[in-house]
Amino acid sequence: MRQSCEVHPIKEWVVAMLLVSIGALVGCRGESRMDVVLVTGSVTFRGRPAEGAEVSFIGLDEALLTRDSPFPRATCTADGTFSLTSYETGDGAPPGRYRVTIVWKKSRSDDPELADDAPDVLGGRYASATDSPLVAEVETEPTHLPPFELK
């Protein structure tokens, strides 16, 4: 007895509808994005650029404390500058007030995985969202923040 390998048109239609439905659901997630503006700044430690320091912005305003709020962050370049990322690289942050945390782990090795085990050069003084003394205001237009000059 011979089996048929025919594709039934109804099955193709069901698969097509499932794919369209999944695409619509995934597309709806993008609608909850908050508007962001370009945000740049710099970090120095004892007058020198803090290359590799991790900068994070934690929202203080009620509008920034929602489930849909992004978590703006950046890594400082060789000259200590950074450009915040919320959704896509370098896109910025929603306007508002933020607590700023900075952690700078420098490994003596070129292996980036070892940096995770390295101590924070800043001694954890700026690592906590509740204890960091650093605050920043992101305006409704592109914002270049005053330098974070750490000691």
Tens of pLDDT, residue by residue over 109-134, are 555 555 567 899 999 999 999 999 99
d(CA 122, CA 83): 21
Query: What's the pTM?
Result: 0.74
Query: Is there a domain that residue 32 lies in?
Result: no
Residue with tokens 């995934």: 26
Q: Is residue 26 part of a domain?
A: no
Q: Cα–Cα distance between 37 and 143 in angstroms, integer?
A: 7
Residue 108's domain spans which residues? 39-150
Number of folded domains in the chain?
A: 1
Q: With respect to residue 115, please indicate whether it lies within any of the assigned structural domains.
A: yes
Identify the pLDDT of residue 28: 47
pLDDT beneath 70: ranges in the chain: 1-31, 107-116
